[in-house]
């Protein structure tokens, strides 16, 4: 479904991605692992057109995404959940969800409330009054309202309490069972292992490992070299 091949990207004069190649097949959850600053978020931003790609190809199905504006990439079927969440603090939870509403939508409010019951109870509350975990669920739910074929999750567990991380993992596992393709950027190895079918490790803008978690678990030297946790 999604394929990046030899992708190079720049921030201004800084060369930040150096030949990234990865794939996420339909219905698969793929994790992009690495330390802070390794290039995980930059890779996701390259996919959605927020950093300049100077070489390589990015395709969704048969469609090339390179050079398209972000809104066109969204319409092509990619939903991006950024690390900083970007909710509308003055809008209610329900209003935040309706901002993302697409014409032919797969996800109704009732269906999202079934997935995230907390949001139903908070529907009339301003988004800015929610906890970090509630805001993360709201951001994911709002992105689902655009009916994406592929969901990009950037550090969804970052800064959340363990009990919230567990609930979020259950929500994402439900999306996986629904058949949604997900590219998950994470530092939390246990969280990623629970959800993903395969992993890539990125360091200094280069892919250093690709394979199933069983292979990664059998190579502790790789984990020590490129990940923050063992």
Q: What is the pLDDT of residues 148-182, one digit of tens each?
A: 999 999 999 998 999 999 999 999 999 999 999 99
Whole-structure pTM value: 0.93
% helix, strand, coil for the chain, step of 5: 35, 30, 35
Provide the 8-state DSSP code for 126: B
Superfamily of domain 1-77+181-230: P-loop containing nucleotide triphosphate hydrolases (3.40.50.300)
- What is the distance between the alpha carbons of residues 4 and 187, in angstroms, rounded to a whole number? 21
Tell whether the model's pLDDT for residue 198 goes beyond 70: yes
- Estimate to the nearest angstrom the gap between the alpha carbon of 95 and the chain centroid: 22
What's the whole-number average pLDDT of the chain?
Answer: 93
SS3 of residue 64 by DSSP? strand
């Amino acid at each position: 479904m999604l394929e990046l091949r030899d992708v190079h990207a720049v921030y201004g004069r800084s060369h930040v991605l150096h030949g990234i190649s990865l794939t996420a097949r339909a219905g698969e959850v793929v994790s992009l692992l690495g330390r802070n600053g390794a290039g995980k978020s930059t890779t996701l931003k390259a996919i959605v057109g927020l950093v300049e790609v100077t070489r390589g190809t990015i395709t969704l199905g048969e469609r090339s995404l390179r050079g398209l504006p972000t809104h066109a990439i969204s319409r092509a079927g990619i939903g991006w959940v950024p690390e900083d969440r970007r909710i509308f603090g003055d809008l209610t939870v329900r209003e935040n969800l309706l901002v993302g509403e697409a014409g032919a939508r797969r996800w109704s409010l009732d269906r999202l409330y079934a997935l995230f019951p907390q949001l139903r109870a908070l529907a009339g509350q301003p988004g800015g009054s929610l906890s970090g975990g509630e805001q993360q669920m709201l951001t994911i739910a709002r992105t689902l309202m655009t009916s994406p074929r592929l969901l990009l999750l950037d550090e969804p567990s970052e800064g959340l309490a363990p009990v919230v991380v567990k609930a979020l993992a259950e929500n994402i596992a439900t999306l996986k069972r629904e058949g949604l393709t997900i590219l998950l950027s994470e530092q939390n190895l246990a969280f990623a292992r629970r959800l993903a079918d395969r992993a890539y490790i990125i360091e200094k803008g280069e892919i250093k490992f690709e394979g199933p978690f069983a292979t990664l678990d059998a190579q502790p030297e790789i984990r020590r070299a490129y990940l923050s946790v063992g």
